[in-house]
Amino acid sequence: MSIFRTESDYPMIAFEEAKRILAERILPLAPRPASLGTILAGTVLAESLTAEEQVPPFDASTMDGYAVIAADGLVKRRVLAEQNAGPIANVTLSSGECVRIMTGAALPAGADAVIPVEWTREEQGWMATEMAAQIGLNVRSRGSDVARGQTVLSGGTVLGPAEIGLLAALGIYQPLVYPTPRVAILATGDELASQDAVPAPGQIRDSNSYVLAAAVRAIGCTVTTVRQIPDSASQLSSAIGSAAAEADLVLTTGGVSMGTRDLIKPVLENLGTVHFGRVAVKPGLPLTFATVLGVPVLGLPGNPVSTLVGFEVVVRPVLRALASQPARWRPERQVRLDHAIRHEPARLEFQRAQVFARDGAWWARTTGSQASSRLLSLVGANALLLIPRGTGDLDAGTTVTAMMIEEPEIEQPS
């Protein structure tokens, strides 16, 4: 017979304490070389990189024009050849000679400046100009962008398109990076209908799997598995065990509360260590953190809103820590409440809201009923309002902190 308990074994901890425990236990994944073409923007570099090549690799023209010897001054020059970007023509300039040259082409031997075509006339193999060139005019000298031996990126740099391009320019195709975390998602509950079936009486559709898979992918992490597991200790145990073997983080939803069939916590105790099992936040009180074979497992409550808010305030920072991201938290902004809100002082509450600009100030309007089952309260929200513990109901006009999930985009810059 199952026992219906009335008190949790787990102490209620403050959100700050939960963050501290997570920070202590979540270590960055071991760096691995990755092939440059597959690295996602946002990946963190795990080594300092020094250029073994120079950029540009040869003295190159920055203009379409004529490669000349500057000291020749304004004389008419004989056109010897044409040098395009690419293979180097076998030609050496002597005084009174020039070579037609294109942008990006190697400066021919003997030449030391380029006169742009707009300043020249060419007739019957002779080029005339009124421009007196100084040495180096319109020439990018070799190594002037990146010198050999120069440190180009230091460890811990977040790679964006520009940094990835720089590595390509230097022929660094296998940099050492912190790998993209792989996440296994287990939606648990006897009530979950299989995804291709019409729910039987008492069953519901599983939205959490989709919420989490989309949220994980949206921040550039990989989803290894998405499975539905019934409320059975043996099935949960083997599912969590195999998920921990293939993923860097295991996410479960459901089964962390006080019900007789809420089995995630005891299963995790058996498989590994539970570090906390209750956090004083709303929504998402029974939020659970464990490690199984060294792999972190986060047990989110089944309510769809708890799941997504839990993703924002706990899972996302954990994934960023695993990926060694220097910044882990969404930006915050002080906003004024557009209307009064209710709030129980016992817990930190994350209220779903829309932040908008009005009369030069930022305002927030909550997205209607904040019931934790109401996924609609998240649809259209661009922020979570952080209503602290110890505060009661708040009046319209009060200033609160908003954690911005999305910065409002604009349709056309002015």
Contacted by 65, from Mg ion, ligand AMP, none: CB < 5 to 8 Å by type? none
Task: Give the residue among 201, 199, 257, 248 at the shortest CA–CA distance from 228.
Answer: 199
Task: Please tell me whether residue 207 binds ligand AMP under the rule CB under 6 A.
Answer: yes
Least distance in angstroms from the C-beta of 205 to Mg ion: 14
- Comparing CB distances to ligand AMP, the nearer of 209 and 291 is 209
Task: Please tell me whether residue 8 binds ligand AMP under the rule CB under 6 A.
Answer: no
Task: Give the residue among 172, 132, 119, 128 at the shortest CA–CA distance from 150.
Answer: 172
Bridge partners (DSSP) listed for residue 223: 183
- Comparing CB distances to ligand AMP, the nearer of 106 and 313 is 313
Least distance in angstroms from the C-beta of 257 to ligand AMP: 5
- Comparing CB distances to ligand AMP, the nearer of 277 and 302 is 302
Task: Please tell me whether residue 377 binds ligand AMP under the rule CB under 6 A.
Answer: no
Give, as ranges, the residues between 285 and 304 that touch ligand AMP (CB under 6 A): 301-304
Least distance in angstroms from the C-beta of 365 to ligand AMP: 26
Distance CA 255, CA 233 (A): 11
Task: Please tell me whether residue 279 binds ligand AMP under the rule CB under 6 A.
Answer: no
Contacted by 235, from Mg ion, ligand AMP, none: CB < 5 to 8 Å by type? none
Residue type, 119: W
Give, as ranges, the residues between 220 and 259 that touch ligand AMP (CB under 6 A): 253-257, 259
Least distance in angstroms from the C-beta of 389 to ligand AMP: 23
- Comparing CB distances to ligand AMP, the nearer of 224 and 398 is 224
Distance CA 288, CA 223 (A): 20
26 neighbors 296 (Cβ within 8 angstroms): yes
DSSP string for residues in 196-218: TSPPPTT-B---HHHHHHHHHHH
Pairing of strands 77-83, 97-101: parallel
Q: Which of 147, 204, 357, 396 binds ligand AMP (CB under 6 A)?
A: 204
Angle at 308 between CA 302 and CA 314, to 5 degrees: 100
Task: Give the residue among 338, 340, 336 at the shortest CA–CA distance from 402.
Answer: 336
- Interface residues with ligand AMP (CB under 6 A) are 187, 189, 191-192, 204, 206-209, 253-257, 259, 301-304
